[in-house]
Amino acid sequence: MATKLGRARSASIDDPFAAHLAPPEGETAEERTVRLAAAQKAEKTSRQIDEVLLQSKKLLDKKKSNVKILLLGQSESGKSTVLKNFRLRFTPQYFDAERAAWRMVVLLNLIGSVRVICETIESELAAPEFTLVSDIHRQRCADLAPILREEEIMNQLISPTKIQGEVYVRPGGEWKSTLATSEVAQNSASVVLSMRDEIETLWADTAVRELLEKKDISLRDGGGYFMDDVSRVTEPDYVPTDSDILRARIKTIGVEEHFFEKESASGTRGVKDFWIYDVPGSRGSRAAWIPFFDMVQAIVFLTPLSFYEVLEEDTRVNRLEDSVVLWKEICANVHLQNCQLILFFNKMDILKAKLRGGLIIKEYVPSFADRPNTYAGATGYFKEKFRAYHKRTSPKPRSFFYYETTAVDTRSTAKIIGAVHEEIFRKHLQESILI
């Protein structure tokens, strides 16, 4: 008896878990089956958790090793359009898969333009004296009321809430899938098709064009681009072109994270994957930029030369002045001292059109003085201003990269995107001692 007791004590000392792992005293065969099944289930769950943690760690390590590009700029600077250009160049198949969703966005833009026109007409008719429009125009707008109701129906599909009266979509592709497959959206498209003659008649009206000009409303700068092509974009078999998708507008809220896998030639070394982060540009959202400054290799900073406009969210602030303040802050940030800063003067097609229309630069920018009131004169002047801030405020010397872009021009922007991509990767590889 003593010998058996000694062995039991020895086993307990050698294996402190033995007592806990031993079957319960008096366990039946049925209870044993249940216990072992529970143990197997717990072990399987544990392995699954370990696998998820391992995959998360691999993804985090992958992100750390890949190039990260941050798109910065004020609201309406063209960040989303530049992002589409990256996707068009590096993930064309994924881009193609979204065309059905963008068809619906084009129709939403078309309806939105009709709404702007009708609201402008109603406002003019409500004035004490009006001469440009009449009750005929009021009736035309009343006839188009059905498609304005479809706008609200489609907006409810993709975003049940609004922010300050504007519809926004959240990050991710769920809203695209909804628009592409929803029967409700298809029915809305049919309603728009049934009223395209009425839309074309409204848009062809000289009085309407004069009214929009009087109110300084330029629909062609935004989604109104599609008003010139109503017949094409309302066809049942319409498939948006690359240019259509780049011009289609839909507002986003939150941070968009996009992964790009760039195929590299066989036998070559270097990083092939990269991430792009598109962050909100409105003044109230810029605090969200700071967390993305960590480990970012390059910032593409977009600014239209809109010295003749004010911010949508704060009409007391000039758009270009706001861009200059942002640029100086980004250049001076010590956490970004090793980051490549790439400046895009975007929407240059709009500036050219404004200058052709008689825009006088020095009326808005007195320091422009008597320099040539031309496109070259404007871009040269502002380029040197931004270059000077870059040189003076950067914590340490770095190269100045600058491009003039029209993001809706796929051909020219593709070349710029390619050049920017190669420069970013070349620097990253040098710092990684890979070349």
pLDDT band at 265 (very low <50, low <70, confident <90, very high): very low
Annotated ligand binding at 348? The verdict is: yes
Closest CA to 351 of 364, 339, 341: 364
Model confidence pLDDT, tens digit, residues 344-355: 999 898 899 899
Q: Mean pLDDT check: name the lowest of 9-13, 166-170, 296-300, 317-321.
A: 9-13
Quick check: 222 pLDDT over 70? Answer: no
- Compute CA 126 distance to the chain's CA centroid, rounded to the nearest angstrom: 38
Question: What is the structure's pLDDT at 221?
Answer: 61
Q: Which one-letter amino acid corresponds to residue 285?
A: S
Annotated ligand binding at 416? The verdict is: no
Question: What is the structure's pLDDT at 397?
Answer: 92
- The Cβ of residue 271 has, within 10 Å, a number of other Cβ atoms equal to 17
- Secondary structure (DSSP) of 166-190: EE-B-SSSHHHHHHHH-HHHHHHHH
Annotated ligand binding at 247? The verdict is: yes
Question: What is the structure's pLDDT at 6?
Answer: 45
- The Cβ of residue 312 has, within 10 Å, a number of other Cβ atoms equal to 13
Question: What is the structure's pLDDT at 217?
Answer: 84
Question: What is the structure's pLDDT at 252?
Answer: 80
pLDDT band at 196 (very low <50, low <70, confident <90, very high): very high
pTM, entire model: 0.74
Structure tokens at 66: 């890949």
Question: What is the structure's pLDDT at 117?
Answer: 94
Model confidence pLDDT, tens digit, residues 353-403: 899 989 999 999 999 999 999 999 999 999 999 999 999 999 999 989 999
Q: What are phi and psi of 384, to 5 degrees?
A: -65, -35
Annotated ligand binding at 350? The verdict is: no
d(CA 277, CA 281): 12
Structure tokens at 200: 């074309």
pLDDT average, residue stretch 105-115 = 93
DSSP strand E in 290-374: where?
Answer: 298-304, 340-346
Structure tokens at 33: 């089956």
| 413 touches 406 (CB < 8 A) | yes
Q: What are phi and psi of 169, to 5 degrees?
A: -110, 150
Annotated ligand binding at 79? The verdict is: yes
Is 23 or 322 the better-scoring residue by pLDDT?
322
Q: Over the chain, what is the mean pLDDT?
A: 81
d(CA 152, CA 184): 12
pLDDT average, residue stretch 220-233 = 80
Annotated ligand binding at 249? The verdict is: yes
d(CA 26, CA 296): 63
Closest CA to 285 of 309, 314, 259: 314
**Cα torsion 215, 220, 225, 231: sign:** positive
Annotated ligand binding at 302? The verdict is: no
Question: What is the structure's pLDDT at 256?
Answer: 79
The widest CA-to-CA distance across the chain, in whole angstroms, is 116
pLDDT band at 88 (very low <50, low <70, confident <90, very high): confident
Question: What is the structure's pLDDT at 2?
Answer: 47
| Residue indicated by tokens 């004010």 | 310
CA-to-CA dists, residue 394 to 172, 282, 292, 330, 332, angstroms: 35, 24, 19, 9, 5
Annotated ligand binding at 252? The verdict is: yes
| 271 touches 428 (CB < 8 A) | yes
Model confidence pLDDT, tens digit, residues 11-40: 444 555 555 556 777 778 787 787 778 778
Annotated ligand binding at 398? The verdict is: no
Contacts of 11 (CB under 8 A, 6+ apart): 18
Quick check: 126 pLDDT over 70? Answer: yes
Annotated ligand binding at 109? The verdict is: no
Annotated ligand binding at 19? The verdict is: no
pLDDT band at 263 (very low <50, low <70, confident <90, very high): very low
Question: What is the structure's pLDDT at 434?
Answer: 42
| Domains of the chain with bracketed CATH | 66-94+255-431 (3.40.50.300), 98-247 (1.10.400.10)
Closest CA to 82 of 372, 279, 328, 309: 279
- How are the residues of the chain apportioned to helix, strand and coil, as percentages rounded to the nearest 5? 60, 10, 30
CA-to-CA dists, residue 225 to 38, 124, 219, 246, angstroms: 64, 23, 7, 11
**DSSP tag of 169:** B
Structure tokens at 259: 């992964």
Is 294 or 320 the better-scoring residue by pLDDT?
320
Structure tokens at 295: 């480990």
Annotated ligand binding at 251? The verdict is: yes
Annotated ligand binding at 227? The verdict is: no
Closest CA to 433 of 272, 264, 270, 294: 270
Q: Mean pLDDT check: name the lowest of 3-7, 92-96, 138-142, 238-242.
A: 3-7
Closest CA to 387 of 375, 396, 377, 399: 399
Quick check: 301 pLDDT over 80? Answer: yes
- The Cβ of residue 145 has, within 10 Å, a number of other Cβ atoms equal to 10
pLDDT band at 50 (very low <50, low <70, confident <90, very high): low
Model confidence pLDDT, tens digit, residues 129-171: 767 888 899 999 999 999 999 998 988 888 766 776 677 888 7
d(CA 238, CA 342): 37
pLDDT average, residue stretch 233-248 = 91
Annotated ligand binding at 286? The verdict is: no
Annotated ligand binding at 81? The verdict is: yes
d(CA 173, CA 252): 12
Annotated ligand binding at 385? The verdict is: no
Quick check: 89 pLDDT over 50? Answer: yes
Question: What is the structure's pLDDT at 271?
Answer: 42
Strand 166-167 to strand 401-404: parallel, antiparallel, or no bridges (unpaired)?
Answer: unpaired
